Amino acid sequence: MKLFIDTADTDEIQRAAAMGVLDGVTTNPSLIAKTGKPMREVLETICSLVEGPVSGEVFSTEYDAMLREAEGLATIAPNLVVKVPLIPEGIRLVKTLTERGIKTNVTLCFSPLQALMAAKAGATYISPFVGRLDDIGHDGMGLVEQIVEIYGNYGYETEVLVASVRSPTHVVEAMRIGAHVATVPFAVIDRLMAHPLTDRGLARFIEDAKKIPADAR
């Protein structure tokens, strides 16, 4: 499974990339706004830091305006993926961009039927938001399981990109289900490597290492 980071913070991206675990980046208007910088500048910088896909989102909801924004985003870098909201005009835009060879990430997916429409339009990625579903008492990972099954049944090539990830448990479940990608905040990436027994074992080894004569190390 591929691991993306969900952030527009270049420091976080560089730290994740330095570990050799980063396959791509997703952003959204909220994350871009936190940087206080122009969207294009932020995306250009991110695309220069990673070789994998970088999702940049259109802001508009009307087809012609979204198309203009998407065309502008697509000129930023070859690895830029246009992120599109899962609305009727967005699905229409996905079809147009797919026909032009522009990769797309359809975002804000909350049902298997929405995922079907995105795949039929030719989306490169579909992003089910598992954490937001969990927040309202629904089964976020259950949705991912449904989408993976449906896409497998009919041979859709759209990759399932698990989004709104809140914990390492979401990542484990995504792997078990067979999702193609999980995009996670840096704080969760950090926690993927954490285990109390690792910490305890390392502390013991460090203490024992002190007992070894310096000239015998």
Compute the distance between CA of residue 77 and CA of residue 212 in angstroms, rounded to an integer. 54
Active-site residue (options: 2, 34, 37, 83): 83
Compute the distance between CA of residue 25 and CA of residue 114 in angstroms, rounded to an integer. 23
Minimal CA–CA distance to 85: which of 17, 28, 44, 37?
A: 28
Maximum Cα–Cα distance across the chain: 73
Sign of CA dihedral 117, 121, 122, 128: negative
Q: Which residue has the tokens 């000239």?
A: 215
211 annotated active-site: no
Specify the length of the chain in residues: 217
Tell me the catalytic residues.
83
